[in-house]
Amino acid sequence: KENFDSIPDLEFNPIRGKIVHAFFDKRNLRQESDGLADEINFEEFLTIMSYFRPIEMNMDEEQLDRFRKEKLKFLFHMYDSDHDGKITLQEYRNVVEELLSGNPHLEKESARSIADGAMMEAASICVGQMGPDQVYEGITFEDFLKMWQGIDIETKMHVRFLNVDTIAHCY
């Protein structure tokens, strides 16, 4: 994990800790178990990086759907810090506070209000009208999929590793 400290682009990212944590989350390593790995090997590093690969033009609808769900599962795991299968209000508040921590004009209470409002919106999308005695316990992965419906995560969550015209280098 300490090797990630030397990555300059991560240094100023407000959710740096969550990103690094995601690299060692056994769920993201497709080990189907709970907890964190102490270290990852090259193959496991590539497994994590595969979540950030761009879509391929020849993918059919089923492949695109699976690809999308893999990316969203990775994001879901970043928010679900206690690994219980739900993003609770407190977990969401923590992420929003981390994201907004670099803004000196925004107080912690404002960040909390933003998180609370977003969680209420999630409840209305996923559960609908709730009764006064109902409590929304948290966002499940199925809820998370509903919330991200219509958002183009396939092209937004990717990393371009090479931006070189390879033809120009071949003679």
Tens of pLDDT, residues 23-51: 999 999 987 778 889 999 999 999 998 88
Residues of the chain with pLDDT > 90, as a percent, come to 20
Q: Tell which wins on pLDDT, 157 or 17.
A: 17
What's residue 171's pLDDT?
46
For 24-27, which contacts have Cβ atoms below 8 Å and span 24 or more sequence positions? 25/77, 27/73, 27/77, 27/83
Average pLDDT over residues 118-145: 81
Q: With respect to residue 117, please indicate whether it lies within any of the assigned structural domains.
A: yes
Q: With respect to residue 171, please indicate whether it lies within any of the assigned structural domains.
A: no
What pLDDT digit, counting tens, does each position of 66-112 carry? 988 999 999 999 999 888 999 998 898 888 888 888 777 888 888 88
CA distances from 2 to 5, 6, 98, 99, 166 (A): 5, 8, 20, 22, 34
What's residue 105's pLDDT?
81
Q: With respect to residue 168, please indicate whether it lies within any of the assigned structural domains.
A: no
Average pLDDT over residues 130-138: 73
Q: Is the pLDDT of residue 164 over 50?
A: no
97: left (phi over 0), alpha (psi -120 to 50) or beta: alpha
SS3 36: strand
In the chain, how many domains are there? 1
Q: Tell which wins on pLDDT, 61 or 108.
A: 61
Phi, psi (rounded to 5 degrees) for 25: -70, 120
The CATH number of the domain where 140 resides is what? 1.10.238.10
Which residue range forms the structural domain that includes residue 56? Answer: 2-155
What's residue 3's pLDDT?
87
Bridge partner list, 87: 139
Q: With respect to residue 139, please indicate whether it lies within any of the assigned structural domains.
A: yes
Phi, psi (rounded to 5 degrees) for 40: -125, 150
Grade residue 158 by pLDDT with cuts at 50, 70 and 90.
low
Q: Name the average pLDDT for the chain.
A: 83
Core vs surface per residue 45-70: b (16+ CB within 10 A) or e:
eebbeebebeeeeeeeeeeeeebbbe
Q: Give the whole-angstrom CA distance, residue 20 versus residue 78.
A: 10
